[in-house]
Amino acid sequence: MSLAQSVAAPAEAAPQPRRGGWRWAMARLLRNPSARIGGSVLLLILFCAAFAPWVAPHDPLHVNTLGRLLPPSATNWLGTDEVGRDIASRLIFGTRYFLLICLIASTISGGFGILLGLVAGGGSALADTLIMRCTDMLLAFPYILLVLAIVAILGPSLWTAMAAVGIAGIPGYARLIRSVALTVKREEYVEAARALGASEAQIILSTVLPNTISPLIVYLSYATPIAALSAAALSFLGLGAQAPAPEWGAMLVNSRSFLFTAWWAVAAPGLAIFVAIFSMNLLGNGLRDVLDPRDV
């Protein structure tokens, strides 16, 4: 783009936010149909998690041995499970587990990943080599296998499942941030900042970090559904959330033996996971369209 064009462009499009800015991206995201659908469902999940006690018609842990495996009805919208708990209420409380898993796993992956990526991309060559060798090693495992290996080391429980999924995601984030850091460090304005006496740490915080935001959001939209799916799988395998907790994967495995007699008890949590992951992927697709110009 020539200088004249870049100067002229904003004047022409005055009412709209600046092209490439965050408000512009947000506006485009709100117009993107797949982001709208995905975002709405996720908002609904968020709402359910926040107001679960008020939204849910019953106590998710209340056992009723007389009303076991009831089919869906007016009182039990989605029927009851093998000990007579209301499935709909359990699904609604399950949103809390789902969001907790996404939050903790992404925080661990993202937090350590960003830190290691910045150190590798912005620090000494030795640190870079060391960190990259470690990520190579971890990436040699298929993702689920790495998660299982970490669970095997830490021992199975809900918290270790979340930690395992989080740890297994670190190398991906670290690599992403490193590559952004290496690219940004070569930009001319960074060279200029360095020539003006800015320290490496200053450069990383002031120039590299802001540039990671957009690729980070795109990567987050890829990685979080995978992490959530893996955590649900761990619960399903009995290596994550345990029995009475209304976690969707755990609900599924407990109702599994009743597949032939009470399929709704299996289908409900399964569909819940599927819909939640699908809406995350839809939102991710929209985010990618808006933020990642290569993919258009």
Is 149 a binding residue for other proteins by CB under 8 A? The answer is yes
Q: How far is the CB of 137 from other proteins (least distance, A)?
A: 3
Q: How far is the CB of 269 from other proteins (least distance, A)?
A: 8
Q: What is the DSSP string of 245-275?
A: S--HHHHHHHHGGGTTT-HHHHHHHHHHHHH
Q: What is the DSSP string of 181-212?
A: HHHHHTSHHHHHHHHTT--HHHHIIIIIHHHH
Q: Which long-range contacts (CB under 8 A, 24 or more apart) does 129-136 make?
A: 131/174, 131/178, 132/175, 132/178, 134/171, 135/170, 135/171, 135/174, 135/175
Residue of 232, 251, 287, 291 that binds other proteins (CB under 8 A) = 232
Is 259 a binding residue for other proteins by CB under 8 A? The answer is yes
Give 119's Cβ-side CA count (13 Å radius).
13
The CA distance from 133 to 127, in Å, is 10
What are the tokens at 249? 């994967």
Q: How far is the CB of 167 from other proteins (least distance, A)?
A: 11
Is 100 a binding residue for other proteins by CB under 8 A? The answer is no
Residue of 29, 37, 281, 292 that binds other proteins (CB under 8 A) = 281
Is 242 a binding residue for other proteins by CB under 8 A? The answer is no
Residue type at 139 in one-letter notation: L
Is 155 a binding residue for other proteins by CB under 8 A? The answer is yes
215 CB-near residues (< 8 Å, 6+ apart): 176, 180, 291, 292
Is 265 a binding residue for other proteins by CB under 8 A? The answer is no
| Window contacting other proteins (CB under 8 A); options: 99-107, 185-193, 195-203, 259-267 | 259-267
Q: Which is nearer to other proteins, 204 or 239 (CB)?
A: 239
Asked whether 217 and 194 are in contact (CB, 8 A), the reply is no
Question: Residues 33-72: x/- map of binding to other proteins (CB under 8 A)?
Answer: ----------------------------------------
Secondary structure class of 46 (helix, strand, coil): helix
Residue of 249, 265, 283, 287 that binds other proteins (CB under 8 A) = 249
Is 144 a binding residue for other proteins by CB under 8 A? The answer is yes
Report the interhelical angle of 125-139 vs 87-122 (nearest 10°): 140
Q: Which is nearer to other proteins, 6 or 65 (CB)?
A: 6
Contacting positions for other proteins (CB under 8 A): 133-134, 136-138, 140-145, 148-149, 151-156, 225, 229, 232-233, 236-239, 249, 252-253, 256, 259-260, 263, 266-267, 270-271, 273-274, 277-278, 280-282, 285
